[in-house]
Structure 1
Amino acid sequence: MKHYAGLDVSVKETTVCIVDEGGRICREMKVASHPDDLVEALKNPAWNLARIGLEAGPLSQWLFSGLAGAGLPAICIETRHAKAFLKAQVNKTDRNDARGIAQMMRVNLFRPVHVKTLMSQKRRALLIARKLLQEKAIAIENDIRGLLRNFGLKVGIVGAAKFADRIQDLSGDIPELRDIMEVLLAARQKLREQFTVLHERLLSIVKGDTVCRRLMTVPGVGPVVALAFNATVDIPARFKNSKDVGPALGLTPRLHQSGEDNRVGRVSLCGDAMMRTLLYEAAQVLLTVMKKWSWLKAWAMNVAKRRGRQRATVALARRLAVIMHRIWSDGSEFRWAREEATAVI
């Protein structure tokens, strides 16, 4: 007889529920949220486990890798589907959630989530850390501007390189304010220095990666976008068609059909928000900054004439994702002229 297990993961403990083919609960227990403890509990010869489900979350990649490495049939399930299934329960408890996930495994009512490779996880950690330092430095600069504005001191438009000199000049006549600004500027400087360290590490990775260098042949795509796309897609073969990348990143519109009602809404915004933002920024660069003309920019400008700049930017972001996946899959580079392209995207 086959058995199915559901894991409701929390930081300290994981609630485990094991059911048989008929849905009868065979065992319930709490196990420390560590791969070794879960493997020890689930590798009991009494259970012929066909599927082990755990919801995608902060610990899911670590636990999934440990379970899969031990030869257990672990499956990471999509959070929205799990939430919709478990929502039918009157009382939300860890035990009920584990029971619900176990039943999802039994009836095969779930959508699996791709668990990224270790290399992609490391690259994503680098991108997130780099972005965090950048955002904190910008936040300090904005707070400095706000503090000085209370004293009638306006910073105005100034670049990052001359920002500290401008602040020191403005606050020089007020000793107390000058001392406060020196502390904030020192913190900003440290953040900028560490941001530069991570950015140089990112550039070094991209320089040694042939896939990223080919992705950068696409106009508007720089090292950050290329590495982020590499880390997000992880394995290009998991998308059978390049056009499937757009919906996975939330760059296609929602569709609601019911009887004669057929409404097309905004983009779904599903998937990786960081990658979606970077693609949107790359599309803006291609439309507004890039001077060199290409068939892709001509296509986007035509869309902008018909549907407006905002929709054209979103459409271009989606098409950039499709083109980058195609380039990654077939080992080619971006073709600037339409007649040079051998594949219609």
Structure 2
Amino acid sequence: MDYFVGLDVSLRSVAVCVIDADGKHVFERSVDCEIEDIAACLRDVPQGRYRIGFESVAMSQHLYFGLQCAGFDVVCMEARQVNAALSAMRNKTDKTDARGIAQVLRSGWFSKVFIKSREAHAYRALLSSRKAVQKKCIDLANEVRGLFRIFDLRLPSRVDQGSFDERVRPVIEADPDLSRALLPLLDARAMLYKTYRELDRRVKQAASHDAICLRFMTIPGMGADRGLHLSRHRR
């Protein structure tokens, strides 16, 4: 017999609801958000074919590939469609949401979400880390510029991020009051910029080994970071 399993996923727990092909309730339970616990929970369900469904969340990649490896037929559903279906329910709890997800899965009225590979997510994390550190470097440089104005010090409108430290540090060190306030800020930016350079090197190294990325980079103005993002977005 066919069974449909709805999972309402949170960070630490999962509400599990199992219904049969007629929509009748068979089984429900709340377990830890671990592949082994979900698989063990489903062993208490009568023998049959299972189809497991859940809406796209931050844990989707982990659950999708983990449950697939455990031998289950898994579907990740588009979150907006599932939320629209669940919004009609009178009582909103993890248990009732799991029931609703199971019914949506049984009906087939949903769109599947493509789950990217673990490798693609790893490259996305690399690009996000690089972008975050780069933004902090720019923020600290702008903070130094703003504090300079108080003391009637002006930097050129365009100073390359790589040469910012060597342009600014002599000015700060020449004034004891500025040194006390701004040297720690400048040291923090210098360390962040060093980290950014290392992350940028890793992005370029990854791009140089990706044929699709190299093809994207033949487009004028397309850098390694954007090319790697687009190439991994397709996988």
TM (norm. structure 2) is 0.91
* Structure 2 counterparts to residues 291-330 of structure 1, below 5 A: none
CA distance in 1, matches of 2:171, 2:128: 34
- Residue 92 of structure 2 aligns to a residue whose secondary structure is coil
Report deviation, 1:101. 0.7
**Corresponding residue of 1:167:** 168
| Pairing 1:217–2:227 present | no
Ranges in structure 2 where 5+ consecutive residues have no aligned partner? none
- Residue 177 of structure 2 aligns to a residue whose secondary structure is helix
Q: What amino acid sits opposite 1:218 in the alignment?
A: I
Report deviation, 1:96. 1.8
CA distance in 2, matches of 1:109, 1:142: 50
Report deviation, 1:148. 3.1
CA distance in 2, matches of 1:96, 1:143: 50
| Pairing 1:197–2:205 present | no
TM (norm. structure 1) is 0.63
- Residue 88 of structure 2 aligns to a residue whose secondary structure is coil
**Corresponding residue of 2:76:** 76
Q: What amino acid sits opposite 1:191 in the alignment?
A: L
Residues 10-35 of structure 1, C-alpha deviations (whole Å, 9 max, x = no match): 11111111112222221111111111
**Corresponding residue of 2:67:** 67
**Corresponding residue of 2:55:** 55
* Structure 2 counterparts to residues 139-150 of structure 1, below 5 A: 139-150=139-150
Q: What amino acid sits opposite 2:99 in the alignment?
A: R
**Corresponding residue of 1:226:** 227
**Corresponding residue of 2:14:** 14
CA distance in 2, matches of 1:147, 1:96: 55
Report deviation, 1:49. 4.2
**Corresponding residue of 2:185:** 184
- Residue 3 of structure 1 aligns to a residue whose secondary structure is strand
CA distance in 2, matches of 1:64, 1:44: 21
CA distance in 1, matches of 2:55, 2:152: 53
**Corresponding residue of 1:31:** 31
Report deviation, 1:106. 0.9
Q: What amino acid sits opposite 1:195 in the alignment?
A: Y
Residues 143-168 of structure 1, C-alpha deviations (whole Å, 9 max, x = no match): 22233334444334122133224433
Contact 1:133–1:191 (8 Å) recurs in 2: yes
CA distance in 2, matches of 1:88, 1:147: 54
Residues 114-160 of structure 1, C-alpha deviations (whole Å, 9 max, x = no match): 11112212111111111111111112222222333344443341221
- Residue 162 of structure 1 aligns to a residue whose secondary structure is helix
User: Identity of paired residues, percent?
Assistant: 35
Contact 2:61–2:118 (8 Å) recurs in 1: no
Note closer, same or farther for the CA distance 1:50–1:71 as it changes in structure 2 (3 Å cut).
Answer: same
Q: CA RMSD in A?
A: 1.9
- Residue 38 of structure 1 aligns to a residue whose secondary structure is helix
Ranges in structure 1 where 5+ consecutive residues have no aligned partner? 235-345
Q: Which segment is superposed worse, 206-215 or 97-106?
A: 206-215
- Residue 53 of structure 2 aligns to a residue whose secondary structure is strand
Contact 1:60–1:76 (8 Å) recurs in 2: yes
Note closer, same or farther for the CA distance 1:170–1:45 as it changes in structure 2 (3 Å cut).
Answer: same
Contact 2:169–2:186 (8 Å) recurs in 1: no
Q: Name which structure has the greater RCO, CA cutoff 8 Å, separation 6+.
A: 2
